[in-house]
């Protein structure tokens, strides 16, 4: 079973905003997130992931609409569990939403969503978004209570947060990998599609392959980083080729 590759292009917008946040109407505004999405598709991406944050620090509403209109790949919208973003999702009508935690202090998403602590608000958001025909994923740490709560709320998918695994080493690293393995087993047993993302790159990919039942990896930062040196399409192709070696759940 080949893993699906969701390419997150948020950091292309981060680079653009570093220069053009205060001057979006300049004659040339670069790099183009739309061009990044095209290059991701050409490199073998199975879907495009964008995170429109409430503070609009990188992706803008116009970016989301342009990508939705121009790119014929499934669109995964990462979003906070708020009324504003719920309404935006229903208008944009992406193929999927992934509900993530947000903090103004963080540079990028750090840690998983506290599903057990926000059951009622999440239940409302999930029901409204699903009624619009959009599938829902919850970005969570690989904790049994969070996984069970996600299934109880009726989400179709979970995305296991791999950040703690990616940033650790030694015994802690092995423990985090085991948590991912157990979390994926539990999620699959509960009928959830199990995805994973955050901090995944070519050097830790073989360890990720030991996590059974994965359907999709969402990868972003490493691809934008590699693109500086080899090009975005080539970076996606390289990841796509490596992911094709995933052994699947039964090997």
Burial of 70 (0-12, 13-18, 19+ CB in 10 A): exposed
Q: 236: closest CA among 2, 31, 48?
A: 48
173 is annotated as an active-site residue: no
pLDDT at 104: 54
Identify whether 250 is part of a domain: no
Q: What is the pLDDT of residues 104-150, one digit of tens each?
A: 554 455 679 999 999 999 999 999 999 999 999 999 999 999 999 99
Is there a domain that residue 235 lies in? yes
- Quote the pTM value: 0.94
Sequence-separated (6 or more) residues with CB below 8 Å from residue 34? 63, 66, 67, 70, 71
Q: Which domain holds residue 60?
A: 4-243
Domain count, the chain: 1
Span 40-54, pLDDT tens digits: 999 999 999 999 999
Per the residue annotation, which of 11, 58, 161, 198 is the catalytic one? 198
* 249: in domain: no
> Of these residues, 78, 159, 176, 216, which one is catalytic?
78
CATH number of the domain bearing residue 39: 3.20.20.70
198 is catalytic: yes
| 143 lies in some domain | yes
Catalytic residue status for 66: no
């Amino acid at each position: 079973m080949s893993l699906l590759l969701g390419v997150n292009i948020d950091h292309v917008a981060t680079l653009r905003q570093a220069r053009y946040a205060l001057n979006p109407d300049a004659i040339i505004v670069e790099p183009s997130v739309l061009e990044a999405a095209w290059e991701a598709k050409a490199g073998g991406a199975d879907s495009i992931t964008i995170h429109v944050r409430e503070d609009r620090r990188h992706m803008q509403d116009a970016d989301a609409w342009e990508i939705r209109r121009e790119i014929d790949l499934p669109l995964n919208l990462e979003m906070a569990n708020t009324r504003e973003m719920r309404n935006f999702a229903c208008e944009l009508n992406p193929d999927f939403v992934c509900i993530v935690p947000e903090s103004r202090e963080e540079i990028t998403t750090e840690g998983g969503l506290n599903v057990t602590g926000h059951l009622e608000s999440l239940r409302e958001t999930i029901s409204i978004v699903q009624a619009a025909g959009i599938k829902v994923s919850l970005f969570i740490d690989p904790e049994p209570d969070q996984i069970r709560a996600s299934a109880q709320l009726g989400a179709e998918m979970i995305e296991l947060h791999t950040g703690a695994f990616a940033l650790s080493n030694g015994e802690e690293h092995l423990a985090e990998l085991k948590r991912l393995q157990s979390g994926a087993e539990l999620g699959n047993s509960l009928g959830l599609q199990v995805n994973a993302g955050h901090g995944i790159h070519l050097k830790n990919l073989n360890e990720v392959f030991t996590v059974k039942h994965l359907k999709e990896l969402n990868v972003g930062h490493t691809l934008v980083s590699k693109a500086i040196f080899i090009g975005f399409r080539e970076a996606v192709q390289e990841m796509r080729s490596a992911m094709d070696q995933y052994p699947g759940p039964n090997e």
